[in-house]
A and B are shown apart, each in its own frame.
Chain A
Amino acid sequence: MNDMSRLERVVETKNIKMECRDCQVYYGETHAIKDVNVDIEEKTVTAFIGPSGCGKSTFLRCLNRMNDTIATARVEGSFRLDGEDIYDRRVDPVQLRAKVGMVFQKPNPFPKSIYDNVAYGPRIHGLARNKAEMDEIVEKALRRGALWNEVKDRLDAPGTGLSGGQQQRLCIARAIATEPEVLLMDEPCSALDPIATAQVEELIDELRQNYSVVIVTHSMQQAARVSQKTAFFHLGNLVEFGETGQIFTNPVDPRTESYITGRIG
């Protein structure tokens, strides 16, 4: 947070929410992420772009320790959320994931009712004391997820019965119902049609008012549309990280230029 180099860019500087330094990830023998340094700013959408297999999803999953579930994965380096090392021995990943929520590539609602999908997180974290409070949390999350008007009459219907775009918005509502501080999105629109994609993108832009959003995407247009900061990954390296406008109009690294102009990737 008191990184001296930041002071040079006074104009756009916001508080840094997550600070990642010298990050390495290994899958067994494979070195998947090499020396990555990224800062996630508060109330900003940060996009990770890069070709398939470049490690952007892997890196994203490090931010809320979802890689813990993969037995062979080994993470090194410093990941700090508000200055606290999230890989500290004392940190319970469960508490971390309440602060750093996640939306996955494929919409994965629980095979339960829409209401229960959204209420699940608040319920296990004990965020509501009674039914009325829970109703309020669910409604708020669904409203912020831009889904309330479509489902308010059928909250008891199964979440799996919604369309793909609605399911993804339900997953977003489910993720924000626990009031996370950072929201990680792993290619949230890759399974959606253009209309649903537009709705989700609009939603991401609104979420920026309250959260830090990190989005992994294959679509460079999407990155350009929704993000303020962009990180370009290639073969496990962070090639370039900066203002989205600068990355897309005036990339420093020739590899970035090749990728965004479509010559590689």
Chain B
Amino acid sequence: MTDLSANAAPAKRHGASLLEQNARTRRRNRAEARFRGYGIAAIAVGLAMLLVLVFNIVSKGVGAYSQTFVTLEVELQESKLDKKGNRDIEEIKKVSTFGYAPLINSAFAAAVKEGGLETKLKAKDQAGILSKSAPAQLRDYVIANPDKIGETVSFRFLANSRVDGYLKGRVTRDSIANDKSISAEQLDFVDQLAAAGILKKTFNPDFILGSDASDQRPESAGIGVSMVGSLFMMLVVLALSLPIGVAASIYLEEFAPKNWFTDVIEVNISNLAAVPSIVFGILGLAVFINYMHLPMSAPLVGGLVLTLMTLPTIIISTRASLKAVPPSIRDAALGVGASKMQAVFHHVLPLAAPGILTGTIIGLAQALGETAPLLLIGMVGFIASNPPDSIAAGLLSPNSAMPAQIYEWAKRADPAFYERAWGGIIILLVFLVTMNTLAVILRRRFERRW
């Protein structure tokens, strides 16, 4: 190979035999093998990280989906709830939750007696293992069914978060040494109730469907209402960003003259996509809430802010998919005498639709997981709202969104909320993975038919 003299046989230049590799080939092959090794290593590291992440989230969050319940037979004593016995709903409503506490105490007493349990706890402390929501649950039931007064009804009460944590292993007898809200005797009592089958840990649909709860009642907090908040925000985002984004892209891509002005617009759209989301949040606060006086914490405002954030994503992906439609299709349409608009709407847009849809779904998924702008427009914080009863209420009444709810739980002190934060993340990830999978399927399915 190094022999450059004229009389060297040309055959020798590439090595003597094809059957053995020369040094250069070996070096090249080694380099290629090394590169493949790096690639595989990079993918392995990525996959390992993903596995750790998924394992972590699932192991920490799965606890939020089960909850400890205590099933009790409660006698709805007429003497306590409706002294006059006339079943007047207004009179019944006058009995506050304090009035219901004795009923629960006596239900515990009855359960202890019937089950033959031995405990030195006072009735009040026995009832202390229940969630603070228990009397309210009882009261709601009685107000809804006043005719049941005087009967004995079976109720499933939430145990409080310490008891729940005890069953899940989060709370131990050591950890409650300085805890005033639960005592070792109560844990003994819990063990007895569990053995008697009165206290059980089961699947808790209220975590998925329910609303947030105050700091004292982590056991009854759910993500359902903020899910509805997210849904309304996504509706706003979809309804605004898809038509605006697609119209803007079609105009820029197909109709706009190419000059410095459209160049500036193009650069700015690309820049907008890189603007941190919190900037959109503060813009939303300044414009939508302070200037336009839209309601605070409303999904409508959240949706508007997220629309601003999603628009560049949709415009960029729409323009890319419009660009990907071969010019021959436009020529073909123009060649048979279609106007420019007909060419675009009859031929180019349908071909670009899968790409536009994919971009939109990915933009929506991004918006769904966005937290920062919501912090600034007040969609975070304890918002104890019931599911909205109308579309207008859904858009305008204060609500939270899934990621904001998760953030809210994660920053609360009680470790019981921590578990719910992880549980919420599981739901959020299920949504995101579903949306992204849908995007991939759409892309695969409709990809390049020409």
- Give the interface of A toward B (CB within 8 A): 64, 66, 69, 71, 94-95, 97-98, 101-104, 106, 108-111, 120-121, 124-125, 158, 160, 171, 174-175, 177-178
Could you list 13 examples of A-B contacts with CB < 8 Å?
A: A64-B335, A66-B335, A69-B330, A71-B257, A97-B336, A102-B331, A104-B335, A108-B328, A108-B329, A108-B332, A110-B329, A120-B338, A124-B342
Whether the Cβ atoms of A102 and B335 lie closer than 8 Å is yes
A7 → chain B closest CB, angstroms:
35
A201 to B450 alpha-carbon distance, docked (Å): 25
Please pick, from A69, A95, A158, the residue contacting B334 in the complex, using a CB distance under 8 A: A69
Pair B328/A124 contact, Cβ less than 8 Å: no
**Min C-beta distance of A104 to chain B, whole Å:** 6
Inside 8 A of A177's CB, which chain B residues have their CB?
A: 336
Closest Cβ of chain B: how far from A184's Cβ, in Å? 8
CB pair A97–B332 under 8 Å, yes or no, is no
Identify which of A69, A95, A158, A171 contacts B332 (C-beta below 8 A). A171
Interface centre among B336, B342, B351 (most CB of A within 10 A): B336
Partner of A120 from B326, B330, B336 at Cβ < 8 Å: B336
Q: Which of A66, A71, A102, A120 contacts B346 (CB 8 A)?
A: A120
For A68, the closest partner residue in chain B by CB is B334
Evaluate contact between B336 and A121: CB separation under 8 angstroms.
yes
Contacts of A109 in B (CB 8 A): 332
Please name the residue on chain B nearest to A177 by beta carbon: B336
A110 and B347 contact, Cβ closer than 8 Å, known pairs A69-B330, A71-B258, A160-B450: yes
Chain A contacts for B332, CB-based, 8 A: 104, 108-110, 171, 174
Q: CB < 8 Å: which of A64, A120, A121, A158 contacts B449?
A: A158
B residues in contact with A160, CB < 8 Å: 449-450
- Beyond the given pairs A108-B328, A108-B329, 8 more chain A to chain B contacts, judged by CB atoms under 8 angstroms and listed by A's residue number, are A71-B258, A94-B337, A98-B337, A103-B335, A104-B331, A106-B328, A110-B329, A120-B346
A-facing residues in B312-367 (Cβ within 8 Å): 326, 328-339, 342, 346-347, 351
**Contacting residues, chain B, for A174 (C-beta < 8 A):** 332, 336
Q: How far is the CA of A215 from the CA of B257 in the complex (A)?
A: 31
> In the complex, which residue of chain A has the Cβ closest to the Cβ of B330?
A69
B347 & A125 in contact (Cβ 8 Å cutoff) = no
Q: Which B residues contact A (CB, under 8 angstroms)?
A: 257-258, 326, 328-339, 342, 346-347, 351, 449-450
For A124, the chain B residues whose CB sits under 8 A away are 336-338, 342, 346
Inter-chain contacts of A120 with B (CB < 8 A): 333, 336, 338, 346
How many Å lie between the Cα of A120 and that of B339 in the bound state? 12
CB distance from A152 to the nearest CB of B (A): 21
- Residue pair B328, A104 in contact (C-beta under 8 Å): yes
- Alpha-carbon distance between A177 and B346 when the two chains are bound, in angstroms: 18
Question: A101 to chain B: which residues have CB within 8 Å?
Answer: 335-337
- Residues on A with C-beta less than 8 A from B331 are 66, 69, 102, 104, 108
Q: How far is the CB of A194 from chain B (nearest CB, A)?
A: 23
- The reply to whether A95 and B337 contact each other, CB–CB distance below 8 Å, is yes
Q: B330–A97 contact, CB under 8 A?
A: no
**B347 cross-chain contacts in A, Cβ below 8 A:** 110
Q: Is the CB of A125 within 8 A of B337?
A: yes
Q: How far apart are the CA atoms of A83 and B333 in the complex, in Å?
A: 26
Which residue of B is nearest A108, CB measured?
A: B328
A97 proximity list for chain B (CB < 8 A)? 334-337
CA distance A110 to B338 in the complex (A): 13
A175 touches B336 (CB 8 A): yes
In angstroms, Cα B346 to Cα A121, docked, is 12
* Minimal beta-carbon separation of A106 from chain B (angstroms): 6
Contact of A121 among B328, B329, B330, B337 (CB under 8 A): B337
Chain A residues contacting B337 (CB-CB under 8 Å) are: 94-95, 97-98, 101, 121, 124-125, 178
CA distance A52 to B328 in the complex (A): 20
Once the chains are docked, how many angstroms separate the CA of A94 from the CA of B343?
11
- Considering only CB atoms, which chain A residue lies closest to B336 in the complex? A121
Q: Known contacts A71-B258, A104-B331, A160-B450; decide if A111 and B351 are in contact (CB<8 Å).
A: yes
B450 / chain A contacts, CB cutoff of 8 Å: 111, 160
Collect the chain A residues with CB atoms within 8 Å of residue B333's CB.
110, 120
Most A CB within 10 A of own CB, among B329, B330, B338, B449: B338
Set of chain A residues within 8 Å of B449, measured between Cβ atoms:
111, 158, 160
Bound form: Cα–Cα A109–B449 in Å: 11
Given contacts A108-B328, A108-B329, A160-B449, contact A175 B335 (CB under 8 A): yes
CB distance from B352 to the nearest CB of A (A): 12
- Determine how close the nearest CB of chain B comes to the CB of A158; give it in whole angstroms: 7
Q: What 7 A-B pairs come out closest when comparing CB atoms?
A: A121-B336, A108-B328, A98-B337, A102-B335, A97-B337, A108-B332, A111-B450
Complex CA–CA separation, A98 to B336 (angstroms): 6
Residues on the A chain within 8 Å of B326, using CB: 108
Which residues on the B side are within 8 Å of A121 (C-beta)? 336-338
Kindly provide the distance from the CB of B339 to the nearest chain A CB, expressed in whole angstroms: 5
Measured between alpha carbons, how far is A64 from B332 in the docked complex, in Å? Answer: 13
Question: Roughly how many angstroms separate A51 CA and B337 CA in the complex, as a whole number?
Answer: 29
CB distance from A80 to the nearest CB of B (A): 19
Min Cβ gap A93→B in Å is 8
Chain B residues, CB < 8 A from A171: 332
